[in-house]
Structures are given as structure tokens and as C-alpha cells.
A and B are shown apart, each in its own frame.
Chain A
């Protein structure tokens, strides 16, 4: 049998030497990795996070002193009060203190601030300054709340159609083109005319004006029609815009809840997933997130008689009949003077004179002129603020899931317009709690569309902790057994492999922490896989070296050959798994993505540690030295032949 001849270099001293720069580089990488993996060792403190009610605003220094004063007064001790990221974080010694502290601070700070309890990572300050932070733990490991919401894009499209119809009506009337009817259809609008000339005239104007539709002329019997179909790009744009707005809105709502590590993401075409790790107070979250609320401002219709309408049951055209909070009906003009999404800010406070709760609303530039003009033209006349709440329910009808929306409108205040205003105004007539909630909902932005909760999961923190504890324990045991076995079986080389394994883990943890990746349970699964493959890599190398030694190759030659040959195998194996990991990452959703991220990172670090790190250590210990025996756990018995 012909042996595989290798090019052995003449001078053995060249074999098995790692260049110094590479050694230094590897040590540096290891130290840096250890530094950034370290935050994970520090655990968490029960803490309270204070943020300003106005999104994006930094709590002032005065706020900090208020906090310190309030805590001192109730003699609650803290381990630290720091500013982090536009929040004030107060760390307590125990969960009880945390609970008490939250109440005390809520009282002391009032409506201008949001106080939320959460578990703050106990990373020391200096480490945090250089960007060190612990890995994020997924919900399945940490406990918290997870919601999946579906956005009703179809409704938005319907509203767009109606807006266009109104637009068309106005335009045609202005151009004095008579038409018979404008009928909405399935993503389309049909306009009927009596004569062809009218239709053609309209066509010339509207086809240019309403370009998001593709218009066609049609004639059926006595009708001359033009049919506009909402174009595909327009549909896509509407959907994208709706999703973006919704995500923005929910992000702001979630910020209002003061949860620092919350995640709001788009999932699929029209769904949003919200993860609130560490959330212990689920009812508040559900309340804020589940509701859709807007306010609209309407003029009260004083020209028609309310009692007549109630008796006859017929609402005059162009009007709305809405009940107020005490159950009385109010007749309103349906034209919306100011709509919810033109509100830039809303703050609840107590009126300085009356002491009554109120909400001060700031209006966006674009809507100011209409508001101003309307109020100016109607001074002295009553104006109503309507609070719209939309609740949705899911049902299965004929095998399809149907979502029904119930819109509930209440008039929350009717007041006479004192003077013209455009830029801001105040809403009164609410209780303190209502004022706070209204302000919060207004600030968080009104949703452009209706939203249903598809799935809602609450993982109690105890479950998360128990999981983590047991999982940690079992992995530690398994790991220890592997380490032991490698050392016993491969002696010194085995210990080298063990060290490489530790380095591997440190690298993975450091990269995950730096990338702010989330470690979920499937992520732990891929850690298991990575450890398995890394160990396999080393086993491959060592078995090869043993084989070479048995064949009579010199020790240095055996080391060289072993690594040489095995490296090819390892790279092939890791690369194929890498393909799978990348595909999983690209196509996979949620937890599968988590699995893929850790796997990808792990594959790279494994290749690095199994080959390069162990080689460096082997070279350092054994390279270029005249050895009688290589401590690889076997005695060399030269094979004959």
C-alpha cells in the first residue's frame, strides 16, 4: 500500500511554531473577550426606572434630587442612583424595597414621570462605560410578556378609498362635471356618468389627479363608467406606511411603560410582535397595548334639534349622534375638526386655578390652520371632544378567522370655544386617572389602523428562573464530564482542548453580549451543538496525530500532519453546517433565528479555538522541542510495514 508522502521540510525547527504576532493577537482577543463576557457574571439588582412622560426627554437634575429626597424621607436605602440612557435608575437591596420604592417614587414624582420596576443588570460602572453589558435573555429564559398583534390593513385601504371618493366628488363638483354615482369596490372606485363626454372630461382630470389608481373607461348599457383600481405600488406603500406607523406607535406606548429592553418588531406582512421581558405587571401592559384610542374634535350641531332626532331616530345628514359619559346624546357634525394623529404631545396635569385634572394638547403644524379657522369662525359655539375606543374580537367563522371591530365613541367634553386656537388646547372634565391615561394614549400616537391581539403569553418569572437554574446546572454537569473525560483520555493534549473549549465559550458569550443578541432556549441548544462540534474537531485532530504516531512519524511531524489533515475535515464540516445556519437565520422566524445566530457565532469561534488556539498552545508546549513522548494519552507502538 502506497503511503501518502508529504513534503516534510528539511529543518524540523520550522515545524510547529506559531508566529509571535499570532500568539499575541490570540491573547489580546482572549482578554478582550473575557472583558466583554464578564458582565454576565454580575447578576441583577431589583431596581426602579424613572423616565420622563414626554418621550425622549431627559429627566432633569431637579428630578434626581426629588428622588433622593423622597427615598430619604421613607428611609429606603438604595445601592445606587444613576442616570442611564435618559432614565434615572434606582437600585435597591431587595425586591421588597423595590416594591415600596416604586410606590414612594410614584407618589413623589407625580404625573410628569413614569416609574417602572425592572431588574437592572449589576454591571459595574467602569465596565458599562466601555460598552460592556450582559447578554439579553429571551422571554423563555427570563419571564415576561409576549404579544402578537395583527394590524387591519384592509380597513386602512377602505378608508383611503373613502377619502379618494370624497376628493373625487369635490373635484367633479368644482369642475362642474355632473356624475351619477361614485361607488367603492374591491380596492377600486367606480364612477358612473350619464354621458360619454362627461366621462371623458372627468377622465382627463382625475387620471392625472389620482395617480395611485389606474383608471379605465368602461361602458355598460346606458352607463358610462370610469373604474380606478388601486395600483400595486400604492397598495404596498399603504401597507408599509401603516405597519411603520403602527410599530412606531407601539414602540412609543411600550416606552411609556418604561420597559427598557422591550422589542417591537414586524413579523410577516401585517403582524407585530411585542416582547416585554421582565414585565411583572401584566395587566397594565395589556391595558395600554390592547386598546386603540383616539380623540377627534367635532363641532356640535346646534342647528338641528336634538330631541327631534332622538324621537324620530333619523340622524340628519352629515351628523353623528354620540353619547357622553353620563349617557346623554350629543348631536355632532361629522366633519373632523382635529384628528388624533395630528396631536404631537399631550400632558396631564392639574389646572392651576380649579385644581381639576386636565390634559394639555399640542397640535401639529399641518393641522393648526384648520383648527384655527374653525375655532375662529365658531367662537362662542360648543365644540366636543370625542374619545374613540376600538376593541377587537376574534372568531372562527366557516373555518376562517374573522376579526370584528367594535368602535365605541364617547363624548368626553363639550365646551364653548372661548377664542380661536390652533396650536394647543386643553381638555377638561376627566377624572385624574382618565386624564393620565388619555394623555398617555394621545402621546403614544394614535394608531393608523385597528389592531387585534392574536396571541398573548405570560411567562411568570418564577418559571423563567427555575428553567435557567436547572438548565445551567445540567449544562455545567455535562460540561464538567466532558472536560474530565478529555483530560483523562488525551492527557495533556486533552487539557489543552479543554482550555480551548473554555476560550470558545468566552468568545461566544462576549460576541453575543456585544452584539446585544438575545439568548433563548434554542440558543442554548445550539451551544450544545457547538460544544459537540468543537470537541469533535479536537478529537479529529488528536486521533489523526495518534494515527501518525503509530505509523512511526516523528512527534513534530505527527503534530504537523495531524493538524494539516484534520483541518480540512473540520473546515468542510463546519462550512456545511454554516450553510444551514445562514439559511435558518434568513428564513427562520423568532426562536429559530435565535438558534441560528448562536450557531453561526459558535461555528466561527469553534473553528478558531479548535484549530488555531490549540495549535498555538501545542506549539508553545511541544513545538520544535526534542521530545521522547507526546502526552496524548497513548504509548506509541510502531506498526510494522
Chain B
């Protein structure tokens, strides 16, 4: 079975100026949203109280939400899980001064008491109390790890390929997670530990994609004499097009299955992955590829050092 005409000759690089602008815009919007609006940190990061309630009858989540809001819980979320009788209520720490002066255990007690008043018929299954300080360390370490690995990867790419490609792939690698975070921020989607795992997955995926494209670019530069960088990159992308679409489609299929069947707990995870795969593919072509061209990538940069190649000489 085949879906595509091989031998496509789409001039992807023609759009590179436009997409550069789009990418820049996305980037700026994301950074802006993150600085102004911030992220909707999940309980894993913000700290707070999470209580599981089991009701004698089926729960109406909407009703719960309105009740919580009117009771003055600013940062609250309601999820269902387990059965239709169960609800997971998350009361995030607001971080205001009054709250912070209290002991964590006291805050938890207050929340559970208030909830008992609001929903006297429900049984409280368990209460989570998480100190925010804990997870900040985790987030910081995570960011550090990502940055260090980006540097190391860039070095590897510089050796195996070429330094301009290293730079452009590094930019693409930073571009993807920031845009995803921006979308999370804009739409106020909860960013928890699972979403972080998704982010890491996306980085890995985008990296894989970028390398595959670059590999073909490298090969083409060596084969296609007399073509300029734009032509070479274009043909590389065209040649890998069927593979790119196939892989993206297959991975998307898995992730969409996760999104639709995986339940509310992994929702933010699935969303991040779906966005990430699309953006990852996009960035491999238009951020990494185009930037390498813009930086002046040319054939001589990619020729192997003087050693006999399998190519015959003209």
C-alpha cells in the first residue's frame, strides 16, 4: 500500500521566511504568556491538598465545582476517577501570605474540615498534603538536566554533522517545549508531573525527527553536487516525507488512543504529546532545516575529511 507519490518536489524551503516569522511569534507569545499568566501548576508542583471523596450516589461534577467555588475555594479542581461515585478534589495552595504563615498540616486539616461541612454525605478516602518546596527542586533539576543534555547533544551533532546544524537543532529543541508550555499557559491546562514526562518525550521525539532529516541532508549534500543549500534541504525533506508522515501518523495514532481512552488522569499528558508531535515534526523541517540554511550551510561543510570515499571521482 502506498499513500504518497514518491518523487514529490514540494518547495518546503520557500515558506521558510514565513514560518520563521510564525515560529518567532509563537515563541514570543509563549514566553509572554508564561511570564504574565504563568503556568497552571498541577498539585505535584504547587503543593496543596487533594482529597478523595466517595459519595453514596453518582456525582455531578459540575455541581461540585459550583459548590466549591461559592465556598470560596479559589484554586480548586474536580475530577472523577474510579467509579461514578468518586470525585477527586484538588485545592491548590494559593500562595498568599495568610496561608503561608500556617503550618502545612493545619492547612490540610482546614481543607478537610471545610469539605466535610460542604459535603457531609461523602466519605473522605484519603488526603494528600504536598509541600510545594519539594517539587520546585524537582523542576529545577529537570530543567538543568534538559539544558545539559541539549549542550551535549549539540556537541555530538557538531561532530557527526556540522556545527551550523548543531546550533539549529539546539534552537529547534528549545523551541518545542517552550511552545508547548506556552499553549499550556494560554489555555490554562494543568501542568503536572505527567505533563512534564510528556514534555521530555516530545523533546526526544523531535530530536529523533531532526536527526533523520539532517542525516538525509548530509547525504544529499554529498551526492548532489552543484546544488545550493535550499535545493539540497528541500530534496532531503521531500525524500523523507513519506517516512516523516508515516512515523508521525503512527505515533499520533498511539497518542490519540491515549487521549481518548486513557482517562482524565493522563489527559494533560496526552494533550502535550499530541501538540508535541505536530510541533516536533514542524520544527524539524522549518526551524532546524531552515535555520541551518539561513546560517549558510553549504556543501563543503559536510564533506568528510580527506579520506577515500565510496564515491567515484569525476
Contact of B225 among A2, A455, A475, A533 (CB under 8 A): A2
The answer to the question of B253 belonging to the interface, with a C-beta cut-off of 8 Å to chain A, is yes
Interface residue stretch chosen among A129-137, A175-183, A251-259, A458-466: A458-466
B-facing mask of A582-597, CB < 8 A → 1, else 0? 0110111111100100
Q: Which residues of B contact A122 (CB under 8 A)?
A: none
A489 to B125 CA separation, bound complex (whole angstroms): 49
B-facing mask of A470-505, CB < 8 A → 1, else 0? 110111011101100110111100000000000000
Q: Decide if A456 touches B129 in the complex (CB within 8 Å).
A: yes
With A475-B258, A550-B6, A572-B211 known as contacts, the answer to whether A526 contacts B201 (CB < 8 A) is: yes
Instruction: Say how far B309's CB is from chain A's closest CB, in angstroms.
Output: 10
Contact of A587 among B148, B153, B260 (CB under 8 A): B148
Closest A-chain residue to B214, C-beta based? A572
The answer to the question of B60 belonging to the interface, with a C-beta cut-off of 8 Å to chain A, is no
Contact of B263 among A5, A466, A589 (CB under 8 A): A466
A-facing mask of B206-224, CB < 8 A → 1, else 0? 0110011001100100011
With A5-B311, A589-B141, A634-B2 known as contacts, the answer to whether A396 contacts B257 (CB < 8 A) is: no
Q: Using a CB-CB cutoff of 8 Å, which residues 379-421 of chain A contact chain B?
A: 393-397, 399, 401
Q: Which residues of A contact B138 (CB under 8 A)?
A: 589-592
Q: How many A-B residue pairs have CB under 8 A?
A: 256
Q: Which residues of B contact A479 (CB under 8 A)?
A: 254
Instruction: Say how far B251's CB is from chain A's closest CB, in angstroms.
Output: 4
Instruction: Say how far B273's CB is from chain A's closest CB, in angstroms.
Output: 7
Q: Decide if A396 touches B101 in the complex (CB within 8 Å).
A: yes
User: In the complex, which range does the number of interface residues on chain B fall in?
Assistant: 35 or more
Q: Which residues of A contact B219 (CB under 8 A)?
A: 565
Q: Using a CB-CB cutoff of 8 Å, which residues 498-531 of chain A contact chain B?
A: 521-522, 525-526, 528-529, 531
User: In the complex, which range does the number of interface residues on chain A fall in?
Assistant: 35 or more
Closest A-chain residue to B269, C-beta based? A525
The answer to the question of A6 belonging to the interface, with a C-beta cut-off of 8 Å to chain B, is yes
A478 to B101 CA separation, bound complex (whole angstroms): 48
Q: Which residues of B contact A41 (CB under 8 A)?
A: none
Q: Decide if A482 touches B250 in the complex (CB within 8 Å).
A: yes
The answer to the question of A282 belonging to the interface, with a C-beta cut-off of 8 Å to chain B, is yes
With A393-B105, A587-B148 known as contacts, the answer to whether A525 contacts B257 (CB < 8 A) is: no
The contact sample of 29 A-B pairs, CB cut-off 8 A, is: A2-B223, A2-B312, A394-B104, A401-B133, A456-B130, A457-B129, A463-B52, A463-B88, A470-B266, A475-B258, A479-B254, A489-B1, A525-B197, A526-B197, A526-B201, A528-B258, A529-B204, A532-B251, A547-B6, A565-B219, A573-B212, A580-B149, A580-B204, A584-B200, A586-B145, A591-B138, A591-B193, A592-B197, A633-B2
Known: A456-B130, A458-B126, A583-B149. 6 other contacts (CB 8 A): A2-B312, A396-B101, A458-B127, A474-B263, A482-B254, A528-B251
A interface, CB within 8 angstroms of B: 1-2, 4-7, 148, 268, 282, 393-397, 399, 401, 454-460, 462-463, 466-467, 470-471, 473-475, 477-479, 481-482, 485-486, 488-491, 521-522, 525-526, 528-529, 531-533, 535-536, 539-540, 543, 546-547, 550, 565, 568-569, 572-573, 575-577, 579-581, 583-584, 586-592, 595, 599, 633-634, 639
B interface, CB within 8 angstroms of A: 1-3, 6-7, 47, 52, 81-82, 86, 88, 100-105, 125-131, 133-134, 137-138, 141-142, 144-146, 148-149, 152-153, 156-157, 160, 193-194, 196-198, 200-201, 203-205, 207-208, 211-212, 215-216, 219, 223-225, 239-240, 242-243, 246-247, 249-251, 253-258, 260-263, 265-266, 269, 273, 310-312, 314
